[in-house]
Amino acid sequence: AMLSTAFVFKPDTIMFDLEDAVSLREKDAARMLVFHALQMPVYGDMETAVRINPLSTPFGLKDLEAVVRAGVDVVRLPKTDTADDVRALEAEVERIERDCGREVGSTKLMAAIESASGVVNAVAIATSSKRLVGIALAGFDYVMDMQTERGDGSELFYARCAVLHAARFAKIDAFDVVFSDVNDDAGFLKEVDLIRRLGFNGKSLINPRQIDLLHNAFAPTQEEVDYSRRVVAAAEQGEKQGLGVVSLNGKMIDAPVIEHARVVLRRAEASGVRQ
């Protein structure tokens, strides 16, 4: 039921899961359902992703064959421990694209980092393939690997920073962990505020009620938008006068401030203004 209705919630990307949300007995049935769902016209205009099983399992390659042929936009590789995991995936994707006549390079990849090995290798992973559009931290498997548990976020601090730096270095997106208590809006928003300020581009979500909350928290405030408009106007004025640095109400406006203002305006265009 979720496969055929999920589009109504308008997430930025809809991700179908074939990995840990699917029991071992249902793997083949789930793959067939996702293969058909991806070809439904309603998903034609949306970005689609599928989390396949790791290629080291008996399911991974079958998943990949099905979803690349069905035209998925992004393949999410779970439990990515090394850059070789991504390169092995990329080689298979290229073979399947050639086999089925899909444009080579059109299938994008996202790597989920879920272990100490993945975090230590984050830079190598993030730079392992031109197809990678982002890396995501997956908190539940990660804390298990680290012999700890989810708490106030301090247990994820190093991993968040490592994943974020690797993504910025590779010039791709960074996505934060799933927040599992779908009834705890306050806890969710506290975590979102932290990861937004750290610099994450977004977050993996598991429930439609989390979508608007996340979009709203990432949208700039009216105050930020107004200030950014004034910054851009002052910068354009300065440029006409041939000035490298201009001042706005006594504050220095230079290139990083102007670039930040443009980012704020782009976010407002994408998500509106925070309510």
Ligand X SMILES: O=C([O-])CC(=O)C(=O)O
Cα separation, 25 vs 22, in Å, equals 8
**Site for ligand X contains 114 (CB under 6 A):** yes
Asked if residue 139 binds ligand X (CB under 6 A), the reply is yes
178 counts as binding ligand X under rule CB under 6 A: yes
2 touches ligand ACO by CB under 6 A:
yes
Q: Which is nearer to ligand ACO, 107 or 204 (CB)?
A: 204
Q: Of 81-89, 136-144, 191-199, 241-249, which part binds ligand X (CB under 6 A)?
A: 136-144
141 in contact with ligand X (CB under 6 A): yes
Q: Residues 164-167: contacts with CB within 8 Å, 24+ apart?
A: 164/198, 164/199, 164/200, 165/122, 165/123, 166/122, 166/123, 166/125, 166/126, 166/127, 166/135, 167/126, 167/134, 167/135, 167/201
206 is an interface residue for ligand ACO by CB under 6 A: yes
Residue 170 burial (CB count, 10 A): 20
28 known member of a binding site? no
Does residue 208 belong to the site contacting ligand ACO (CB under 6 A)?
A: yes
Are 248 and 234 in contact, with CB atoms under 8 Å apart? yes
Q: Does 42 bind ligand ACO (CB under 6 A)?
A: no
From the list ligand X, ligand ACO, Mg ion, none, partner contacted by residue 192 (C-beta under 5 to 8 A by kind): none
Distance CA 20, CA 206 (A): 13
Q: Contact with ligand ACO (CB under 6 A): which of 10, 21, 100, 245?
A: 21
Contact (CB, 8 A) for 7 and 42: yes
Q: Which residues bind to ligand X, rule: CB under 6 A? A: 20, 78, 112, 114, 136, 138-141, 177-178, 204
